[in-house]
Structures are given as C-alpha cells and as structure tokens.
Structure 1
Amino acid sequence: MRAALERYFEFSRLGTNWRTEFFAGLTTFVTMAYIVLVNPAILAQAGMPLPAVTAATCLSAAFGCMLMGVIARYPIALAPGMGLNAYFTYTVVLRMHVPWQTALGAVLVSGVAFLMLTALGIRQLILRSIPKELYAAVAGGIGLFIALIGLHNAGIIVSDSTTLIALGDLRSPQTALALAGVILIGTLQVWKVRGALLFGVIGITLAAVPFHLVHWHASSYRLTDITLTAGKLDLRSALHVGLLEIVFVFFFVDLFDNLGTLVAVAKKAGLVEADNSIPRLNSILFADAAATIAGSLVGTSTVTSYVESSAGVSAGGRSGVTAIVTGLCFIAALFAAPFVGIVPTAATAPALIIVGSLMISTLSEISWTEPLSAIPAFLTLIMIPLSASIANGLGFGVIAYACVHILGGKFRRQDWLLYLLAVLFLARFVYVSAA
C-alpha cells in the first residue's frame, strides 16, 4: 500500500519522502493558520454567526487542501481568501446592504462559473496566454508581498504618514524576536535542516512565552453550530441582474489570484515544464473551483489558493501529500480552533520574510535589458506588494505587455487572448476607480 501511494504521488521523480512531505504540510498550515481566526472575525461583522463561520472556515480549507492533494497532487493549500472576505463583508454586505445569505449565493455562482470555464478549457487558455516574463514577475512579486506582510507583522516596518512606511521600534520584544527568528531560520537553512521554517516558528513561539506574547484564549463551540450558515445561501437573489457585478468581482479577482498563486508556487516547486506548461492543470483548476462551491454551501466566502503554500514548498514539499497534511491540520483545527492562535506573529513573520526572499530567485529569468520584457515584468513585480493584490499586479503587467508590443510594432496574432485580457483588466480598473 505504501509503495503504491509513493508511486501515485511520484515520490521518486520528485525526490521527496513521507517525512519531508509531513513537515512541509505542517509548515504550510502554521503559516496560514491565522485564517481560522481572522476569516470568522471578518465575516462575523457581516452578521454571520462566529462559531458557524469558524467551523465553515476549517471545513472548506480542509476540503480544498485534500482535494488538491489527492486529485491534482500539488503542494498547494486552499482556504477562504483574504481580500475577498473583506470585499464580501465591507463592500457587499455593509456598504451595498446585501444580506449575507445572498452574498453566499453570489460566491456559489462564481464557483460554478469557474467549474464551467474549467470544463470548457477557457481557464487553461488564459493561463497559457500569460507570457513567461510575467510568470517570473508574479512569483517575485508575491515574494515581495509575503516579505512585506512579514516585515509589517513583525513591527520591523510600520506605517508613516509622510513616507508611507518607516522603520519600526527594533527594541520592542515582538520585533526583536522576529529578527531573531529570521536569523534562526536562515541559519537552519544554511545548514540544510529539513523543516527549518517549522522549527524556527516553534522555537520563536517558545521564546515568546516569557515576554507574554503567547496568549491562550480557551473557548469552545459545538460543531453543530455550522447549521447556522450551512445551506443558508440565497441563490435566487444572487442571480438577480443587479447583483451580477458582485458575482463578476468574486469571479474576476479569484480567477487571477488563483492563477498567480498557482504559477508562483508551481514555479517555486520546480513543477513547471520547459514549455511553460503545468501538468494536471485541469485537476488543479477543478479542485479550487469545487472548493469555492463547497465553501459557499457550508457558509464562507470564496476559497482560493494560498501564497503561504510557498512556505511548505520551501520546506521541501513537492507532492500532493503536503496539501493533504495541511488539510488534516485544518480538520484538527476544527476541534482546537480556540488554540490555533497561540502562535504569535513574532513567530510567523520570520517565516514569511524568509519565504519571500526565496521566491525572488525567479527574477533572474527576466531579460531586464529588453524593454518589451522589463517594463511589464517590473509593473507586475512592484504592483503586487504595493496594491496588496496579485490580480492587480498581473493586470498592470498584462496591460503594459499589450501596449508596448502593439505600439512598438511587435503585434502578434497568436497573442489575441492576452490582448483581450488587457482590455478586460483595463475595464475592471476603470470600473473599480469609478465605483
């Protein structure tokens, strides 16, 4: 049985083993476990019952991760997406006064649209239309984005009204511990210690105890509370013509966030073929579409691929077993959700910073002396962290790529889909700016 599983997950070809995959799955979970607490807190402001959303968050993440691991066999973890949950609560429910049940219906419609486009091969065409320069820039941009989040969470970088950002107080316990964590994880990686990220997170968590940065908030909930949101979506209202714009935003942002994350993680794991194709692409896209549908049915916002998957890849994860382990951790979190937040930001921030540094290596694949490649790649690279959105960064890159090629006399008929994407991105930016 064990040998058969190793053949199915291609351990030999990928150069991995059970121990490595287990640690990689744990590492991914630790770096994204915050979603178990953050997602319910955001959606609760939309009037959704907190215990129910907590259970829905864990279940949808577990389902998505395990489906990705078993069917697609990739080390990519899924969970309710940050950004989309904020749009769900603050824009759709609170500003537009749409009931959360109707908003969940819109999430379901967008998930079904994903599934249909996957079956028709359109999402695959979109992915293949993205130039390789933008692939590399997306991976590097996500690296900068992850590192910026880590630096901010650690207090190393803080907001500043004059310069936008500034250096924080390096003497504060949280910031000092985070810096120590960067050094600890970096040293472990220099010595090629497997699971360096996980060990670093655990080590800093233990070191944070004397500084009272580790907090236990023991509370409980009944798993049956999920019935307060499960199956409560209002599909009929979501199909109303006036709500199509909501469905479009859920669909559009998730589409390109997913594609960007997929490309970045697959590239980092060395799973992208020489011709820029990604094996089992249909299975990957099916998994995230099915996860979004499942999430809407149990009661949470759009489920998407997580850039924190890069942490598991950096820890050696290469197969679907990494994602399965992460999914099992989310199931465990269903029963231990009150304690998931025990890991302080001083411990998770160093992991994000280190992962960010590792993802920058893809930038060497870009021809920086060639404006046709450099300008779109740079805009993609810089706009992902500065706009806090993979979709925005990719949008700027695609528009710039189309413009410099067309106006520079380098128009190619085979790039018609990319030019169409540029028009769609431009329309989205105009719409968002006018909204």
Structure 2
Amino acid sequence: MLERFFQLAERGTSVRTEVLAGVTTFLTMAYIVVVNPTILGQAGMPVAGVAAATCLAAAIGCFLMGLLANYPIALAPGMGLNAYFAFTVVGAMGVPWQTALGLVFISGVAFLILTFAGVRQLIVNAIPKSLFAAIAAGIGVFIAFIGLRSAGIVAPNEGTVVGLGDLTSPTALLAILGLTIIAALQVLRVRAGILIGIVVTAILGWTLGLAQWNPEPYSVEAMTSTALQLDIPAALGIGGRGFGLALLEILFVFLFVDLFDNVGTLVAVSKRAGLMRPDGTIPRLNRILFADAGATIAGSLAGTSTVVSYIESASGVSAGGRTGLTAVVVGLLFLVTLFVAPWVQLIPAAATAPALILVGAMMMAPLAEVEWEDPVVGIPAFLTLVTIPLTFSIANGLAMGVVAYAVLKLVARRAGKGDWLLYGLAALFLARFAYMSAG
C-alpha cells in the first residue's frame, strides 16, 4: 500500500530509507517545540499551550504535505513570523494575541483563495529572488538580535541605542555557555545539535543554580490553553473592535513572508531531491501551497502563528527521503512529542537564546544568491536586510525593498508591461508609509 501510494520504487527509495529520512528531519527541526513557545510566550500566550499547539500544527502540516503533495518537506510554525506575531503585532501594535490568532486564521483562508486563483504564483514572478534572499537574511538578523537581547548579551544604551550587556550576569554566562555548546555541535555535524544544546544548557542552568527547576504535573488543561482561543470577529473588525488598516498590513506580511519562505524552501529541497522538472518548475506546486495554507488554518485553531515549510527538510533529503512518507514520519514524531510539550515551560530563556542566535546565523546563507554587483537588485536587497532588524519590523523591510526595487527598475528603464503587479504593490507600500507618517 505504501509503495503504491507514495510511488517509492518510481523515486528510487524504500520504506526504511523514508523512515530514516523522517527521523533525521525531525531531529534537525525539533528545536521549534522549545523555541516557538519561548517567543510567543512573550506575547502573553500560555507557554505550555503554545508548545502543544506547535506539535499539533506541525503534525497536521506534515501529514497534509505528505499525503496531499507527496513531498519530503516538513512544516511547523515559522521562525520570523512568530517573532513578527509576538513583537510587532502584539507588542508594538497592541493587538491582543487572540485577535492576532484570528488574523493568522484569516491569512490561511486568504492563502487558499489566492492559491486557487493563481495569485500567489503571480507574486512570486513579480519579485526578484534577490529580495527573497534579503528578506530571509533580514529575518535571521532580527531573530538573532532577539536572542542576544534575551540573553543579556546586548542591552539598551542611551548613548548608542544598544550596547554590550553585563556578561558577568548569570543569564548572560549561561547563554554564552549554551552558544558555545550548540556551535560546537553544529561544527561536529550533530543532526539534533540545536535541540541537544538547548537541553544540555538547561540542565547545566538547573544544576549550577542559574535557573529554577519547578516541574509541574502533566496537565491536559495546560495543553489546551490556547486551542480555539482565536478571535475572528475582532480580527475582521466586527463590533468596532478591529484595527483598521493594521489588519491589511498584518495579512500582507503574513502572506509575503510565508510565500517567500515556502518558495525558497521548495526550490532548495526539490533541487536536492531531484524532483524539479527540467524547465525549473516544481511539480504539484498548487498542492504544496494548499498543504501550507491548510496547516496555517489548523495552527491558528490550535493556538500558534503561521506554519511554513522548513529548510531543515533538506537534511532528510540528504538521508535519502524522496516522497511524502518522509513528511508523514515527521508528523507522527511531532504527535508523540505533543504529550511532553507542556514541560518546555521549564526551559530557561538563557537556554533558548543561543538557539535563536544560531538559527539567525543559519538564515544568512541565501545572501549568496543576491546579485550585489547589480544596483537595481543589490540596493533594495541591502535596504531590506538592514531595515528589518533596525526598525524591529519585517513589514518595514519588505516595504522598503519592494519600493526601492520598483523605483530603481524604472530609473534603469527595465520596467515592462508585465510589472504591473510590482508597481501596484509598491504603490500600496508608499500609501502605507504615508499613512504611518500622518499618524
């Protein structure tokens, strides 16, 4: 049955190879079960509930990808979008996290509609790949900055805005130790290096008295504390509780970042697995995007931010994964992890901060794809890269990059009739900047 459904022989693989690939992928991305609750917890969300929601959303996403699209790609709540959810939507805009979850749900539904209409594909063609790379790297710097601040390695400074923190504090010392451990494991190519590093750092913190160990009994109530808490009426502005143009901006960012993240991952993993067509297109692309959208809807209902495809899937492909059975195995492992998820609230911030820093470092790789020698794409890419962390907003970086690219393309006389969507997006972003300035 597995052979027929997943076409194992046709793709030159076996059940044993696919299971091994699934385990490999899971070990390289399991850190999200700890890191995602840490980030969303700063938005006031129950940590144990977010941990359980992370496992459930990842499992559903992997099942959809494996069974619907038959691709060896795993999904989970995305790094970057969870930071945007916590620090921009909830923190800076003041949107309640329940309303923010409602916005994630609406974005998932919008993803489905736009995929069915072919709009997501049009957007991909309108934006240069260099800008995709800059957005990914900018989010990486953003995440790393959050980790450095959480660790106390970077602190506010009146004279220079930010400066070096107190490296002799217990939190900073533990974080530096964790950073050393995780970096060493990465150098040694240990597949579960990030997850092992987090756990080892936490244990050292408890042992040395640098963190508190207060275990709580297993609680179904804690696991379900974020489930079905989304407030869709507030997200839609029903009853006068909406946030006006903020709704459109948030949906826009969710759409773009999720789209770019998925496209980059799909191209990288498909190439590595030999699943791309000779013309460079990806077979069953719509099914992949439908799986992504369905996972985001499920994640919002469970109580977590937008679900995306994970580049760590490439580790499973390297281990031989070629079909959706790999993704299904990852989903099953996330389901098993669901039952220990509430315990992640015992992990101190100093143990997860190093993971954020090094995940940010791993997101720098796409910068090699930027055509820096061409100012039409190099300048917008740079503006995107620096604006995201310096303004603490993915939306600002995205807007800056699109507007700059549209203007420079016009100056270089490269604009064509097919760029109508690009200039439409640039006009929307300019209107957004004008609105923000007037406010």
Give the aligned partner of residue 254 of structure 2: 254
Query: Share of identical aligned residues, percent?
Result: 40
Contact 2:299 2:307 in 1 (8 A): no
SS across alignment from 1:83: helix
Per-residue CA distance 1:385-415 (angstroms, 9 max, x = gap): 2233434322211110001111233322222
Cα deviation for residue 331 of structure 1 reads 3.9
Which ranges in structure 2 are unaligned for 5 or more consecutive residues? none
Give the aligned partner of residue 216 of structure 2: 218
Contact 2:50 2:304 in 1 (8 A): no
Give the aligned partner of residue 405 of structure 1: 409
Distance 1:248 1:69, change over 3 A: farther
Contact 1:31 1:352 in 2 (8 A): no
Counterpart amino acid of residue 75 in structure 1: A
Q: Aligned partners of 2:362 and 2:235: how far apart in 1?
A: 45
Give the aligned partner of residue 163 of structure 2: 166
Structure 2 length-normalised TM: 0.77
Contact 1:106 1:246 in 2 (8 A): no
Give the aligned partner of residue 29 of structure 2: 28
1:355-366 paired onto structure 2 within 5 Å: 355-366=359-370
Distance 1:386 1:330, change over 3 A: farther
Cα deviation for residue 119 of structure 1 reads 0.4
SS across alignment from 2:30: helix
Distance 1:41 1:220, change over 3 A: farther
1:3-402 paired onto structure 2 within 5 Å: 7=8, 18-19=19-20, 21-36=22-37, 39=40, 42=43, 59-72=56-69, 73=71, 74-78=73-77, 81-84=82-85, 87=89, 91=93, 108-212=105-209, 213-222=211-220, 230=228, 238=236, 240=238, 243=242, 245=245, 247-266=247-266, 269=269, 271=271, 280-297=284-301, 300=303, 303-305=306-308, 309-310=310-311, 312=312, 327-328=331-332, 331-332=335-336, 334-402=338-406
SS across alignment from 2:162: strand
Per-residue CA distance 1:63-86 (angstroms, 9 max, x = gap): 335434543432332278443366
Per-residue CA distance 1:167-215 (angstroms, 9 max, x = gap): 1222233323332333333333333333333333333233222223253
From 406, 423, 426, the counterpart of 1:422: 426
What RMSD, in angstroms, separates the aligned Cα atoms of the two structures?
A: 4.1
SS across alignment from 1:159: strand
Contact 1:88 1:301 in 2 (8 A): no
Contact 1:292 1:303 in 2 (8 A): yes
Which ranges in structure 1 are unaligned for 5 or more consecutive residues? none
SS across alignment from 1:153: helix
